[in-house]
Amino acid sequence: MFRTPLNELCRNAGGRMVPFAGWEMAVQFEGVIAEHKAVRSSCGVFDISHMGLLKLKGLGAKDKLQGLVPSDLHRIGPGEAIYSVLLNEGGGILDDLIIYDRGQIAGIDELFVVINAACVAADTAWLEQHLSPQGIEISDQKTTGVLLALQGPEAAAKLQQLCGEDLSGLPRFGHREIEINGSKVFTARTGYTGEDGFELLLSREVGCWLWGQLLADGVAPCGLGARDSLRLEAAMHLYGSDMDANTSPLEASLGWLVHLEMPLDFIGREVLEKQTAQGVSRRLVGLQLQGRNIARHGYSVHHNGELVGEITSGSWAPSLELPIALAYVPPALAKLGTQLSVDIRGRQEAAQVVKRPFYRAN
């Protein structure tokens, strides 16, 4: 079981530790709902040091990575980032990732790629298989460092106080290096909560210092529980639950990531072209349950008494004070307003297909 550099500090802050993707991580501190509401109303900080951060370096790094993702990487330039997915030959999603264009460092093209903790070994092997023969060097950029996510409407103000830099000009999905406590820190305006915020790569020493400074400044330490409820309200996918290697981005309602108009080939393109022409057999939708019972992963979805799908993620939505879920259903039932039901412990609970995201920050 791996432990992040912040493990002891999380314990000292009251974190309840649980196993997650081979790591010991805090699932909560004060409590999931309290942490969730802190991020929505002010600011919270997450230890996300279990995530993978790879550096891709070499001539034409972006052009060569283009062959592995369906999104047009030339839509971004240095200092910008894009959310996308790695695909297999069948158009299935191997992982979702954020790709950061670092431009040229010492004359060599460089990208950062953030990947899911459970997929680090498989993703690294996949990238090495396809990119290393093309001269792209792939390395662990995080090593023994710390990854922090500072999220919420007060995140920029809190970070500016500590770095002394004006961050107002850093756009959503923009990134740059800032100085914190005398060290250069890779900082991106990205997150997994539906709020404004930043994700930061720091050395072990500076990461531990910043964690302490933020908590002393009243920022709420937040765990995996609040991270999950926040991302679900924002209808952000969880790899392994809402999508996997047998799910295409078109099925997962991630068609906006697929840029078939670009005249470039990528793994899985032929399958996605066929699905675009012929349609898919299922689609991920958002559900709002009519009662107060929560639809959990794996619960069955029904229409007029017939089994039609399955819940992939479900939770109580603290910001909305009602239960929400994501589920796969046939395309004919994916229309907004469609009335369905979910089998919860033997009872059929009414549910309705609703617009995603369930929650949108002001």
- pLDDT tens for 76-113 read 999 999 999 999 999 999 999 999 999 998 889 999 99
- The three-state secondary structure class of 57 is strand
Q: What is the pLDDT of residues 294-313, one digit of tens each?
A: 999 999 999 999 999 999 99
Domain 281-354 sits in which CATH superfamily?
Aminomethyltransferase beta-barrel domains (2.40.30.110)
pTM over 0.95: yes
Note the pLDDT of residue 310: 98
Among left, alpha and beta (phi > 0; psi -120 to 50; other), residue 64 is: alpha
**What's the rounded mean pLDDT across residues 193-208?**
98
CATH T-level topology, domain 53-140:
Alpha-Beta Plaits (3.30.70)
Domain 53-140 shares a fold with domain 281-354: no
Q: Which stretches of the chain are DSSP H helices?
A: 7-12, 32-41, 61-65, 120-131, 155-163, 204-216, 224-233, 269-278
Q: Rounded to 5 degrees, what are φ and ψ at 288?
A: -115, 120
pLDDT band at 342; cut points 50, 70, 90: very high
Note the pLDDT of residue 46: 98
Tokens of 154: 């007060």
Say yes or no to pLDDT of 292 above 90.
yes
Say yes or no to pLDDT of 67 above 90.
yes
**What's the rounded mean pLDDT across residues 189-216?**
98
Note the pLDDT of residue 362: 79
Annotated domain spans of the chain: 2-49+143-233, 53-140, 281-354
The CA distances from residue 89 to 94, 101, 138, 281, 331, in Å, are 10, 25, 22, 19, 24
**What's the rounded mean pLDDT across residues 44-61?**
98
Report the C-alpha gap between 356 and 194 in whole angstroms: 12
The neighbour count for residue 143, using CB atoms within 10 Å, is 9
Domain 2-49+143-233 sits in which CATH superfamily?
Probable tRNA modification gtpase trme; domain 1 (3.30.1360.120)
pLDDT band at 4; cut points 50, 70, 90: very high
Note the pLDDT of residue 137: 98
Tokens of 226: 């609040």
End-to-end CA, the chain: 39
**What's the rounded mean pLDDT across residues 334-342?**
98
**What's the rounded mean pLDDT across residues 52-81?**
98
Report the C-alpha gap between 29 and 10 in whole angstroms: 8
**What's the rounded mean pLDDT across residues 45-49?**
98
Q: Rounded to 5 degrees, what are φ and ψ at 299?
A: -65, 145
Say if residues 229 and 317 touch (Cβ distance below 8 Å).
yes
